[in-house]
Amino acid sequence: MVNKLDIISSPHKHDGSTVSSVMLRVCLALVPGILCYLWFFGIGIVIQCMLSIGFALIIEALMLKLRHRSLRIYLHDGSAIVTALLFALMITPFSPWWISLTGVTFGLVFAKHLYGGLGYNPFNPAVTGYIFVLLCFPVLMNHWPLPTGLFNQSNNATYTLNKIFSSAVAIPSQSVDLSIDNTTVINDVNSLSGATPLTHMQTQIQSMEMISEIKTDSMYGNFGGKGWEWISFAFLLGGIGMIWMKIISWRIPVTVLGSLFLTSMVFNFYDADIYASPFFHLFSGGTMLCAFFIATDPVTASTTPRGRIIYGCIIGLTAYVIRVWGAFPDGIAFAVLIANSLVPLIDRYTRLKVLGES
Amino acid sequence: MAMELHKFHGGLKLETHKTITDDIVATQHPLPARIILPLRQHIGIPSEPIIKVGDHVLKGQTIARANGYVSIPLHASTSGKVIDIGDYPVPHPAELSATCIVIEPDGEDKWCDISPTHEYASVDPKKLQDVIRDCGITGLGGAGFPAHVKLNEGVRNVVDTLIINGVECEPFITCDDRLIQEKADYVVAGTQMIRHAVQAKHCVIAVEDDMPEAYEALAKLVSDDIELIKVPARYPAGSEKQLIQVITGKEVPSGGLAIQIGIVMHNVATAASVYRAVTRGEPLISRYVTITGKVEAPRNLQVLLGTPVIDCLKACGYEPNDNHCIILGGPMMGMNVTNPEIPITKTTNCILVEKKKNVTIEMPCIRCGACVDVCPIKLLPQQLYWHARSDNLEEAQRYHIFDCIECGCCSYVCPSNIPLVQYYRYAKSQIAAEERRRDGADHARARFMAHEARHDQDQQADSDDLPLLADPESDVQAKKDYIDEAVKRTRQKRGKQQTKPEDKSGK
Amino acid sequence: MIGFIFVLVIGVLFVLSYYPRRRSVSDTQRFERRLHQKIDSIDSLLPQTQCGKCDYSGCRPYAEAIARGNADINQCPPGGELTIRAIANLLGRDPVPFPADKKIDSQSFTALIDESLCIGCVKCIPACPVDAIIGSRQMMHTIIKQNCTGCELCIEPCPVDCISMVPVWTRSKEWVWSKPGSILEN
Amino acid sequence: MLGVDPAIAVSKRIEATYNLCILMLIVAPVTAVITYLLHFYVLLPLDLAYLQLISFVLTISATIMIMEWFIRKLKPALHERIRLYIPIVIANSTVTGIALLNIKTNIGVVGSFLSGLGSAIGFGLVLLVITSMRERIIDADVPMPFQGVAMLLITLGLMSMAFLGFTGIVVIK
C-alpha cells in the first residue's frame, strides 16, 4: 500500500509556465511605456520606480517573515515588483520619497497580505495604495512635471532629485528661481505645478470655458496631452503585446476602452463644447495603463469570460462618470477599485454554461 | 454523407511522440511465468470465481462467473494450474490489493472447446449481446464499461449513430493505431456486428488525422454504409463527450449518458474483440499494449491479460532507474506505478517509462483563467479548486465537479503548478465518502432506535410484575419497608402454624 | 396638550398591532415544533456513533444541546471538519475550528474481539448502542464489522479487556484521494 | 452605506440575504408612503412637527406588525422565509432614514413610494455585494487575529474608500 501523501496525480507533464515568468513578461510589457515616460518627463519616473520596488521588496520580505512563509519561493514570484511598478507609474514623478513608501506599504499590507498573500486579495494592491495616497495628500498628487523633453532644465536629474528627497511641499503659485546653475527663471504659474491635461481640462470646464478654447493651451498635443498621448500609446503597444503573449485575455481591455469610448462619443455628439472627445479620454491620464495592466490583474479581476465583459463595462462607465462629474480628474483608479469590490458578485452570477447543460 | 466537423471548447495541442512506436509491427508477447487475473477489471460488481485452487484450466475457459447485470465473466488467458485465489496488488493509484486468480501456465497453451456463432446477421440482437457478454468483453478504451450494457441500452432506445472511436489523443499511445493497421478487417467486421446488435441508423469510424496508414487500411475495407472520418488531432478529442461534439455537434447532457441523445460509442479494440468473440467464439484474453518512453526497443505488444507489467517492460529492454517512473496509460491520464509486479488488465493500453516530473512547488492560484480556456467541459477549474481546497463540497457540486473528466488540461497549463486534478479527485472521493458516511449514520441511527425501543420494552416488561424491585431508582427506604412487610407476613404464617400444634411456645 | 393625545393614539395603535401576535396561543407549540425540526436537522448531520465523545450521552442529546444553544458545534470528533462545516452552514454560523485537546481521528476504526481472551460474559452486548456484537453467555462473541461505528463504548465494560480498535480495511471503492500537501502551510 | 449594520449579522449565507431583501422590498415603500402622509396630513396641521421622530418609529413598527399579520394569513410560505428578519427591519435605520429624507425633500406621495422602492433595491444590492465578498473572505488564508468580522470591516473600509471616488457628483441643495 503506497503512502497516501506521495502519490503523484495523473497529469505527469506541464507546459513549464510559472507565476514569476508571467510577472516578468508583464514587467517587459511595461518597459516601452516607461521609456516614453522617461523621454518626455525626465528621469523622475525611473527614481520613483527604483524607490517603490525597493520598498515593496522590503515590505514583502517583512510580511512573509511575519506570516513565516519561506522567502525563497514567494519573493521571486515578482508580484510585488509588478505592484510597485504600477504604483510608481500612477503617482507623479515629483512626489517625495515617503509618498511611495506609504502607498506601497498600505497597498501591500492591507490589500494583499492581510488577506493571505498572492491569490487571495480581492483588491488590487497598487490601486489601493494609490487611492490611499491620493486621498491623504491631494495637493502633492497634483504636482506634475511638464512634457518639455528629457534634457530641459526643469526635468534634469539634479532638479528632480532634490525635489524628491529634500523638498518640503513646493508652493506652486510663487514663481521661484530654481535654477541651481542660474539658467533661465521659470515664472509661468503652470510650469512648476503643471497640471495634467485632464486636471487642466476639468478645472477649465468647471469655469465654463469652451473646449475649443482650452485646447489652444500649449499643453495639448494633437489628441491627448502633449507627452501623455505617446505614453498612453506605448502602454497600448505593451498591452497588445501581452494579449499576443496570452498573459491576459482580450476581454477586459477591449470592454474597458470600448465602453469608455462609446460613452464619451455619445456625450460628445450631445454637446461637443462641454464633453471632451473620445480620443482625448482614451489617450489621457491613466486610461491605457489601467485598462491593460491594472484592470487585467488576474487575481482581482473577474475570472469567468462573461464576468470579464461586465467587469470591463463597469470600469469604463464609472471612470467616465467620475471624470466628467466627479471631483477627481482621473477616475479610472477609483473605477477599478469599485469594480474589484463587485467581482465576487459578478463571479457568482456569471457561471459558465457547462457542456450539455440545458 | 460528409459530416462537417465541429470544434469543442478548449483542449491542448500536445506534441504526440507517436512516431516512436507507430511504424513497428506489434509482436506477440511470450507466456509469462505467472498470470494474475483481478476479478474486477471493469466498472461494476467483481466477478465470482467458479474454480478452486489446484484446478487445471484450459485457455479461454470461464474461471469466474458474472455477478449481477453490470458485471462480466473472467476467462483464463492460457492453460495451466490455478495456484492461488487471494489478495494481490492491482492497478490502483495507491496500489491497493484485491482478490485475484493466479494461474501458473503449463506452456501447452491449449484452447478449450469454443463455439463460434455462424451468420451473425441472422441472429437476433438479444442473443448477440449474450455472446458478447459471455466472452467477457468490456470497453477497451480505458474506462472498462461492460460492452453488453451499452448494447442493451442500444436495443431499448432508438440509436441514431454508432461511433467507433479510433481517436488516440493521448501522446505516446499507438495501440489502437497499430491494431487498425494490422487487423482492419477485424475492426470493420466487428463494427458491422455491433451495428446489427444496436440497429443503429448511421455508423461512423473516427480516426485521428495524424494516423494516415490506419486511415488507408480502413478506407480499403469500408463499405458505403460506414462513414470514415478524420478528426483533427487535439487532446482530448478521444474522450466520449468531445468526439460526439466534434462529429455530430450534439452535446451529451451534463451528468447524462450518450445514449440519451441516441449515440452509442465503442472503442476500435472493442469492435475487434467483438468480431473475434462472435465469429470465432474466442473470449477477451489478450490485447494490444504500447510499451514506450525510455526503453531500448519501444513497440506495441499483443499481451495476454494478467501478465505482470515488469515482464512486458523486460521484453522491450527496460532496466530499473530511480529517476525514471513507470506510468500505466498516457502522460496526461496515466497512473503512476511504484510496484511493477501489478498485472496488465483489460483497461491498460500503454506502459510509459518517463523521466520523473521535477518536484514543482505549488504556488497560490492567481485566478488567471488559463485553465478556463483549455477545459473541454467548459467548467471553471479555479472556482472548483477554490471550493475543493476549502472543503466546501456543496459549492463544488453546484459548479458541476462530477462533470470533470480528469483530462489534466487545466493542470498542464496552470502557471502556479497546482495539481488541480488531484484536488478534484480529492473532492469527488470526499463527496462519495460523505454520502457513504451519511448512509452509515442513517443505518446506525435506525439500529440505535431499535436498540432503545427494545431496551425500553424490556424495562417495561420488568417493571410490570415487580414494580419496586424492577425500578432501580426507587429509594432504598421503600425497598426496606417492602422487605420488612414480607418478613412479617411470613412470620405470621409460620406463627399460625406453630400456634396450632404448640400454642404455648408461641406466646 | 394635543401632542400628548396624539402620542397616546399612536401608542394604542402600536399596542393593538401587537394584538394579532398574542392571540395565537399556539405560539408556544409552534416554537416547540420549530425547535424540534431544528434538532432533527442537526441530528441528521451527526455521524450517529452515539459515542459520547462530545460529553453528551448520544448524538440526539448533543443535537438538542446545540439547538438550545448550550453546546458548541465543534465537539464531535468522529464527525470531524466536515460535520462542523455542515452544521455551521445549516445554522448560518462561522465554522469553529476544533479545540486543541480533542483529537480528530481521520482514520475510521472498528472494534475487534480477541477470540482467545473472550470469556462470553455478555457484558459488552447491552453496551453497544447499535447491537453490533453477537454472542450469548459462555459463547464466543464477535463484532459485525459493517454495523460497528467505532464508538469504543464496548471496550470499558469488558472484564478481560479483549476488545481493541483496528483501522477499517479500505476496499478500492472506498479509497479516498488525499488533498495535495500544499506548500502554503510550511 | 447608511443602515447597512444588519448586513454584518445577516450576510453569512446568500439565502438569508435574499429573504432580507424581499422583506425590505415589501416594507420600505409602504412605510415611506405612510410616514409621508402621516407627516403632511397629521403632524403639520396639528403643528406637532417636533414629535416627528417618535411617531415615525411607532408607526413604522405598527405597520410592519400589521403587514406581518397579513402576510402570515395570505402567504404562509413567504412568511416562513421572512419571519426571522422582521425585528432587524423594524429597528433598521434605512427605513426611518427614507422616511426622514422624504420629508426633508418633500417629493410628494408618489415620490416617496419610489424613493422607498429605490433605496430598498439599493439596500439589497449592497447586501448582495457584501455577502458574496464575505463568502470569498471566509476561505481566504487570513491570519488568526483578523478572522471573521474584523476582516469584513477592513474590506468594508477599503470598499468605502473606493466609493469615495463618487464625491462631488450628487450636489445636495
Q: Cell 456625450: give the residue.
A: A267
Of residues A17, A117, A354, nearest to B364 (C-beta): A117
Interface touch A5/C178, C-beta < 8 Å: yes
Residues of chain A in contact with residue D155, where contact means CB-CB under 8 angstroms, are 122-123, 341
pLDDT over 90 at A311, yes or no: yes
Whether the per-residue pLDDT at A214 is higher than 80: the answer is: no
Size of interface C-D (CB pairs under 8 A): 48
Per-residue pLDDT for B1 more than 50? no
Which residues on chain C are in Cβ contact (under 8 Å) with A9? 177, 180
B399 lies within 8 A of chain D by CB: no
Q: Return the residue in C172, C178, C182, C186 with the most chain B beta carbons within 10 A, the one to mutate for interface testing.
A: C172
Per-residue pLDDT of chain D (173 residues; tens, 9 = 90+): 455 666 677 667 778 888 888 888 888 888 888 888 888 887 777 777 777 778 788 888 888 888 888 888 888 888 877 777 887 777 777 788 888 888 877 777 888 888 888 888 888 888 888 888 888 888 777 887 887 788 888 888 888 888 887 777 665 55
Nearest-angstrom CA–CA distance, B346 and B41: 6
Contact C11, D58 (CB under 8 A): yes
**A247: which DSSP letter?**
S
Bigger pLDDT: D91 or B174? B174
- Distance from the first to the final alpha carbon of chain A: 43
Q: How far is CA B134 from CA B65, B74, B447, in A?
A: 9, 9, 41
A260-293 per-position pLDDT tens digit: 889 888 888 887 777 777 777 777 777 888 888 8
Let me know: does B394 contact C89? Beta carbons within 8 Å: yes
**B84 Rama class: left (phi>0) / alpha (psi -120 to 50) / beta:** beta
What type of residue is B265? M
Cβ–Cβ under 8 Å, residues C50 and C128: no
Nearest to D134 by CA among D152, D113, D159: D152
**Segment B383-417, tens digit of pLDDT:** 899 888 888 888 888 889 999 998 989 999 998 88
DSSP letter (8 states) at residue B105: E
CA distances to A10, A139, A143, A302, A352 from A191, in Å: 64, 16, 10, 41, 53
pLDDT tens digits, one per residue of C42-89: 888 888 888 878 888 888 888 888 888 888 888 888 877 778 878 887
Query: Can you state the percent helix, strand and coil of chain B, rounding each to 5?
Result: 40, 20, 40
CA angle D26, D60, D48 (to 5 degrees): 140
In the three-class reduction of DSSP (H, G, I as helix; E, B as strand; rest coil), residue A151 is classed as coil
Contact with chain A for residue D128, Cβ under 8 A? yes
Of A35, A113, A48, which Cα lies nearest the Cα of A79? A113
Residue A272 in contact with partner chain C when CB distance is under 8 A: no
- A347: chain B residues, CB-CB within 8 Å: 383
pLDDT (tens digit per residue) in B303-339: 888 889 888 888 888 888 888 888 888 888 888 888 8
Note the pLDDT of residue A255. 92
Residue that the C-alpha cell 471624470 belongs to: A323
Residues in chain B: 507
Distances in Å between the alpha carbon of B362 and those of B407, B416, C185? 19, 6, 11
Q: Across the interface, do A11 and B413 touch by the CB < 8 Å criterion?
A: no
Q: What is the dihedral of CA B158, B160, B165, B169, to 10 degrees?
A: -110
Option in C178, C183, C184 nearest A4 (CB): C178
Sign, Cα dihedral of C68, C69, C70, C73: positive
Distance (Å, whole) CA A310 – CA A112: 24
Query: Who contacts B38 (Cβ-Cβ below 8 Å, separation ≥6)?
Result: B88, B90, B98, B99, B100, B343, B345
Contacts of C132 in chain B (CB under 8 A): 447
**Minimal CA–CA distance to A285: which of A220, A225, A350?**
A225
Quote the distance between the C-alpha of residue B124 and its chain's center: 30
d(CA A284, CA A331): 12
For A318, other C-beta atoms within 10 Å of its C-beta total 26
pLDDT beyond 70 at B423: yes
**D25 in a domain, yes or no?**
yes
pLDDT in tens, A65-117: 888 877 777 777 888 899 999 998 888 887 888 888 999 999 999 888 888 87
Average pLDDT over residues B350-368: 84
Give the count of beta carbons closer than 10 Å to the beta carbon of residue B500.
9
CATH of C107-173, one of 3.30.70.20, 3.40.50.300, 1.10.3210.10, 3.40.50.720: 3.30.70.20
Please count the residue pairs, one from chain A and one from chain C, whose beta carbons lie less than 8 angstroms apart. 12
B386: chain A residues, CB-CB within 8 Å: none
Query: Are the C-beta atoms of B163 and B252 separated by less than 8 Å?
Result: no
Write the ipTM.
Answer: 0.82
Compute the nearest-CA separation of B329 from chain C (Å): 19
Cβ–Cβ gap C183/A73 under 8 Å:
yes
| B331 with A11: Cβ contact below 8 A | yes
Residues of A with a Cβ under 8 Å from any D Cβ are 67, 110-111, 114-117, 120, 122-123, 128, 131-132, 135, 318, 321-322, 325-328, 331, 333-335, 337-338, 340-342, 344-345, 347-348
C50 Cβ under 8 Å from any chain B Cβ? yes
Closest of D154, D160, D21 to residue D92, by C-alpha: D21
* CA–CA gap between residue A191 and residue B498 (Å, rounded): 138
Tell me, what's the pLDDT at B42?
82
Bridge-based pairing state of the strands B161-166 and C109-113: unpaired
- How much is the pLDDT for A6? 67
Instruction: Output the furthest CA–CA distance in chain B (Å, rounded).
Output: 130
What integer pLDDT is reported at residue C166 of this predicted model?
Answer: 84
Name the residue among C133, C156, A337, A92 with its Cα closest to residue D133: A337
CA separation for the pair B491, B485 (Å, rounded): 10
Q: Which chains touch B (3 or more CB pairs under 8 A)?
A: A, C, D
B386 touches chain D (CB under 8 A): yes
**If you average pLDDT over every residue of chain B, what do you get?**
84
Task: Check CB contact of D141 with chain C, cutoff 8 Å.
Answer: yes
Suggest the residue from A63, A64, A108, A114 to mutate for an interface test with chain D (most D CBs closer than 10 A).
A114
Residues 60-79 of A with CB under 8 A from C: 69-70, 73
In this prediction, residue A178 carries a pLDDT of 43
Please give, rounded to a whole number of angstroms, the shortest distance from the CA of D140 to a CA of chain B: 9
In a 10 Å sphere around its CB, with 0-12 CB exposed, 13-18 middle and 19+ buried, how is residue B26 labelled? buried
For residue C160, what is its C-alpha cell? 478481560
Looking at the complex, report in whole angstroms how far the Cα of residue A244 sits from the nearest Cα belonging to chain B.
Answer: 14
Residues of D with CB under 8 A from a CB of B: 138-139
- Confidence check: pLDDT of A189 > 60: no
How far does the CA of residue D142 sit from the closest CA of chain B (Å)?
Answer: 13
> pLDDT band for position B118 (50/70/90)?
low
Q: Which CATH class is domain C32-91?
A: mainly alpha
Contacts of B419 in chain A (CB under 8 A): 9, 11
User: Rounded to an integer, what distance in angstroms lies between the CA atom of residue B260 and that of residue B359?
Assistant: 43
Structure confidence by residue, pLDDT tens digits, A10-62: 788 888 888 888 888 898 988 888 888 888 777 778 888 888 899 999 998 88
Minimum-distance CB partner of A354 among B336, B363, B379:
B379
D135 → closest Cβ in A321, A334, A344: A344
Domain spans in chain C, listed from the N-terminal domain onward: 32-91, 107-173
Confidence band of A254 (pLDDT split at 50, 70, 90): very high
* CA–CA dist B416, A284 (Å, integer): 35
pLDDT at C24 over 80: no
Cβ–Cβ contact B373 with A under 8 A: yes
Looking at the structure of chain D, the number of domains it has is: 1
Query: What is the overall mean pLDDT for chain A?
Result: 78
Confidence class for position B506, pLDDT limits 50, 70, 90: very low
D169 contact residues in A (CB cutoff 8 A):
321-322, 325-326
C163 with A53: CB under 8 angstroms? Answer: no
Q: Where are the domains of chain A?
A: 20-192, 196-342
Residue A253 to residue A292: CA distance in whole angstroms: 5
Instruction: Give the cell for residue B80.
Output: 495451466
Burial of A191 per CB tally in 10 Å (0-12, 13-18, 19+):
middle
**B36 in Cβ contact with B306 (< 8 Å):** yes
Residues in chain B closer than 8 A to D138 (CB atoms): 390
Whole-angstrom Cα distance, residue B66 to residue B130? Answer: 12
Look up residue B171 and give its amino acid. P
Q: How many residues does chain C have?
A: 186
Tell whether D60 is covered by a domain. yes
For chain C, the DSSP string reads -HHHHHHHHHHHHHHHHHHHHHH-TTHHHHHHHHHHHHHHHHHHHS------TTSSSSHHHHHHHHHHTSS-TT--TTTHHHHHHHHHHHHT----PPPTTS----S-EEEEE-TTT------HHHH-TT--EE--TTS--EE-TTT-----TTTTT-TT--EEEEE----GGG--PPPP--GGG-
Say whether A303 and B369 touch across the interface (CB within 8 A): yes
- Residues spanned by the domain of D55: 4-140
The Cα–Cα gap between B459 and A197 comes to 93
Return the pLDDT at A312. Answer: 92
Region B265-282: mean pLDDT is: 87
- The alpha-carbon gap from C3 to the nearest alpha carbon of chain D, in Å, equals 6
User: What is the distance between the alpha carbons of residues A203 and B45, in angstroms, rounded to a whole number?
Assistant: 79
| Range scoring the smallest mean pLDDT among A73-82, A215-224, B91-100 | A215-224
DSSP state of B66: -
* Helix or strand (DSSP H, E) at A307: helix A305-325
Residues 152-171 of B with CB under 8 A from C: none
**Nearest residue on chain A to D128, alpha-carbon basis:** A345
Chain C contact set for B94 (CB, 8 A):
175
- Indicate the burial class of D157 (C-beta count within 10 angstroms; 0-12, 13-18, 19 or more): exposed
pLDDT at B381 over 80: yes
For domain B18-304, give the fold: Rossmann fold (3.40.50)
The tally of CA atoms less than 13 A away on the side-chain side of residue B173 is: 26
For B249-284, where are the alpha helices, taking DSSP H only?
Answer: 268-280
Give the pLDDT confidence score for residue B505 in this predicted structure.
Answer: 44
Identify the closest residue of chain A to C184 by CA–CA distance. A69
Distance CA A90, CA A235 (A): 13
Residue predicted with more confidence, B76 or A282: B76
Q: Please enumerate in sequence order all residues whose Cβ is within 8 A of that of A285, keeping only pairs 6 or more positions apart, or say none.
A: A196, A197, A198, A228, A323, A329, A330, A332
Residues B411, B388: contact at Cβ < 8 Å? no
Q: Does A132 sit within 8 Å of D140, measured CB to CB?
A: no
User: Which of the residues C5, C7, C10 would you substitute to probe the D interface, choosing the one with the greatest number of D C-beta atoms within 10 Å?
Assistant: C10
* CB within 8 Å: A14 and B411: yes
Can you tell me the distance from the alpha carbon of B341 to that of B334, in angstroms, rounded to the nearest whole number?
A: 17
pTM over 0.90: no
Give the Cα separation of D20 and B3 in Å (integer): 54
**Is there a domain that residue D117 lies in?**
yes
- Residue A311 to chain B, least CA–CA distance (Å): 15
**DSSP 3-state assignment of B230?**
strand
Nearest residue of chain D to residue A120 (CA atoms): D140
Which residue of A115, A128, A341 is in closest CB contact with D129? Answer: A341
Residue A309 has a pLDDT of 92
The alpha-helical segments, DSSP class H, found in B344-502 are 370-374, 381-389, 393-398, 409-413, 420-465, 467-470, 476-499
Taking contacts as CB-CB distances below 8 angstroms, the residues of chain B near D139 are 386-387, 389-390, 392
Asked if the bond preceding B236 is cis, omega within 30° of 0, the reply is yes
* Cβ(B209)–Cβ(B53) below 8 Å: no
Residue A174's pLDDT band, with cuts at 50, 70 and 90, is very low
Considering only CB atoms, which chain A residues are within 8 Å of D129?
Answer: 341-342, 344-345
Query: B395 to chain D: nearest residue by CA?
Result: D135
